[in-house]
Chain A
Amino acid sequence: MRKSLKAALSEPKVVLAGGFILLLLIAAVFAPWLAPKDPLEQDLMLGTLPPTGYEGTEPGYWLGTDDLGRDVLSRLIHGSRTALIVAFVAAGLAALLGTMLGLLAGWYRGWVDVVISRLVDIWMAFPPVLLSILLVAVLGSGVHSVIAAIVIIDWTRFCRVVRSETMAQAQMDYVTAAQTIGFPKARILFSEILPNVAPVIVALLSLEMGIAVIVEAILSFVGLSVSSDTPTWGGMIAQGRAIIYQGWWVLVAPLVLLFLTVLAFNQLGDGLRRALDPMMRR
């Protein structure tokens, strides 16, 4: 475990991307204290102020204001809460569900594997967009639906990878050894195999978080995520899209942050995969 951590931290990608996400996490947790203004406070006198460095700014509004005079920076900071909650909860639950089923299928084989694998095949045959339209239509809008939709659609990613990884691990000598000693099957699965599959799951989890952030942004962009009085990046982007000629920064600021966040999750996942890959590790 400690060795893995050390390997991960020696990968520059991991440090850089992980550092960015950590900063974002801090911003999200301490948003009420860190945000310079109230993200909901409207002041039409201060509407569409440009960011600092442009003409006609007002001190204290670093990234300018939207058409209702709300501080863009403060809204970004508060918006990171929804983004990260969805990222962590949705990706975490998808990983949990997919990993459990993948472990079972890969370890117990037989009919368990047949049932789970068939299920994954059928699931993946259904295009994600159709599934999300149907799910949001049935579940209604709101952050819970967003999370549920992501979990229901994306658990298969984890399941497939964990299943094949488990099968590979099951061939290893250390598993055979544990079996000859007579450890119970379930115990071998969780104390021997799972730790060795974990690095793959962690890398995949990071990628999935990036996907979740995008999905949440899309759904709040179209108004199907949290209610409109909670600041979200997607909601800000939608607003910026509407007033693009008056205040481009209302669109560009959350878009850049969204892009950086997704990039960071991708790079983190990529770096972790590299650093933790047992084949590459000494």
Chain B
Amino acid sequence: MPLILLSALNRIALAAVTLFGVAVVVFVLLRVVPGDPIAMMISPGSTPEQIAQMRANYGLDGSILSQFWIWLKAILLGDFGTSISLRRNVLELLAERLPATLELAVAALVFAVLLGGAIAIIGTLVRRTFLEPVLDTVNGTILAVPDFVWALALISVFGVFFPVFPLSGRVDPSVQNDFFTYFYLIESLLTLRLSAIVDISSHMIMPVLALGLPLAAIIARVLKEALLEAMVQDYILLAKLKGKSNLRLIMQEALRNAIGPTVALTGVQFTFLIGGTVIVERIFAYPGIGNMAIDAVINRDLPLIQGLVLVFGALFILINLGVDLLVAAFNPRLRHA
């Protein structure tokens, strides 16, 4: 038991170090390379005197190291500066937009796990029948299409030929205005506001599909492989002798041994999915941090870019940490080492 605690602490420490590494890279790329770092802190329209005052305040006449220290302290205190293009506090902007992206990404993940799991289990059930290659081909095709193309294909189909879902945004203005948090979906689920739930979900369906389908196909492929491998083990044979049906063999015997490797892979792929939100949010004009990141880059809004990159970085690191701990939890060997 202490061993796993130790390894958990170890992982957490490693995550902190990685986050620090990301901060260094961001500092170097965004502060040292473009030249004038003060541009990132001033509110637009400051006078030259104010700028000079700020320069002194932030110790920008000091060495790079002392500058980094000052910068890091500001970041740690949540002082990300002011967005140049949006003229608003970066932290506030992030706090507004991040929940939208989180809801989208988690919904896509849940969808992908359910669909991928179902495909894998069905694929294992129908193994060695004519249905297996059919299912594999469908799965391979889903996998071959990147999220960008999925999103646009969905827009073409459900925007033009069967116009059933809204093509852009997160929630219709008619239902908006009275949320307490920025987690619209979660909030309306908790408060059981049916019309809001329906409206928000209908906005999310296409982006969720675009992000989730490729991930579902990857999960299906890896999980099925792991299941097939488990299904030829002797313990399955013994369980079969006990009279367990094929479905039970999969669910009760094979799945728990196949799930560990799949979780590890899903974690890595989930970070890619979050990367995918950038373009998918853009395509559906969904107001998350990904969409905002593109505007920030187009406008070369360095304070905002800095905040976004740090948030994305922290998100990725947290996911990796969570996955490591989950994998350990699914592996009895690690649990009882």
Contacts and interface: CB of A to CB of B under 8 A. Distances in A.
Q: In the complex, are there CB atoms of A and B closer than 8 Å?
A: yes
Interface of A: 122, 125-130, 133-134, 136-138, 140-141, 214, 217-218, 221-224, 237, 241, 244-245, 248, 251-252, 255, 258-259, 262-263, 266
A74 B316 CA distance: 42
B118 interface: no
B160 A248 contact: yes
Interface string B110-153: 00000000000000000000000000000000001110110011
Contact of A244 (B29, B144, B149, B156): B156
B298 interface: yes
A248 B308 CA distance: 34
A263 B153 CA distance: 15
Contacts, number: 100
A163 to B, nearest CB: 20
Contact of A251 (B146, B155, B271): B155
B interface bracket (residues with beta carbon within 8 Å of A): 35 or more
Contact of B167 (A141, A214, A223, A244): A244
Please report whether the interface of chain B is mostly helix, strand, loop or mixed according to DSSP.
helix
Q: In this complex, which of B144, B271, B272, B297 has the most chain A Cβ atoms within 10 angstroms of its Cβ?
A: B297
B160 A244 contact: yes
Interface stretch (B232-240, B259-267, B275-283, B329-337): B275-283
Contacts of B25: 126, 134
Given A133-B293, A266-B144, A222 B29 contact: no
B282 A222 contact: yes
Interface string B63-83: 000000000000000000000
A133 B307 CA distance: 12
A125 B149 CA distance: 26
Contact of B148 (A126, A217, A244, A263): A217
A46 to B, nearest CB: 21
Contacts of B145: 259
Contact of A137 (B160, B282, B300): B300
A271 B92 CA distance: 50
Contacts of A255: 149, 152-153, 156
B29 A138 contact: yes
A280 to B, nearest CB: 20
A214 B26 CA distance: 26
B44 interface: no
B176 interface: no
Nearest to B291: A222
Q: In this complex, which of A133, A137, A241 has the most chain B Cβ atoms within 10 angstroms of its Cβ?
A: A137
Given A218-B148, A241-B155, A223 B312 contact: no
B298 A130 contact: no
B302 interface: yes
Contacts of A130: 22, 275, 309, 312-313, 316
B18 A224 contact: no
B30 interface: yes
B302 A258 contact: no
| Top 4 A-B pairs, shortest CB-CB distance | A129-B275, A248-B160, A222-B294, A137-B305
